[in-house]
């Protein structure tokens, strides 16, 4: 397996894990909400956080992939996108 396919596989797995975790926490939050538990809001927040962190993880992995393959221009552009994502998350 070449480097490009390996990195794509890592990105795909990371996104699947983040989306699955987000879905799990959101469903658990709904279940706790129906049972009138005080933990429902924590699960909703964890689910939303997992879904928000997915694009950040993807961009970080793309920075690594581009730098590893010698595409420094795309690595720099991906780093710029990461800074924009983090700025949007903070604001």
Task: Summarize pLDDT for 38-70 with one digit per residue, the tens.
Answer: 888 999 999 999 998 988 998 998 898 888 888
pTM reported for the whole predicted model:
0.76
Give the model's confidence band at 1: pLDDT under 50 very low, under 70 low, under 90 confident, else very high.
low
Instruction: Please tell me the total count of domains within the chain.
Output: 1
Between the two ends of the chain, the Cα-to-Cα distance in Å is 40
Q: Which domain holds residue 20?
A: 3-90
- Distances in Å between the Cα of 26 and the Cα atoms of 35, 37, 42, 50, 90 are 14, 14, 10, 10, 22
């Amino acid at each position: 397996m070449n480097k490009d396919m390996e990195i794509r596989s890592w990105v795909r797995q990371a996104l699947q894990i983040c989306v699955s975790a987000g879905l799990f926490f959101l469903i658990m939050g709904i279940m706790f909400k129906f049972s009138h538990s005080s933990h429902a809001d924590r699960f909703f927040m964890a689910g939303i956080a997992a879904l928000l962190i997915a694009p950040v993880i993807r961009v970080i992995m793309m920075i690594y992939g581009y730098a590893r393959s010698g595409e420094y221009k795309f690595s720099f552009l991906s780093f710029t996108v990461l800074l924009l994502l983090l700025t949007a998350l903070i604001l």
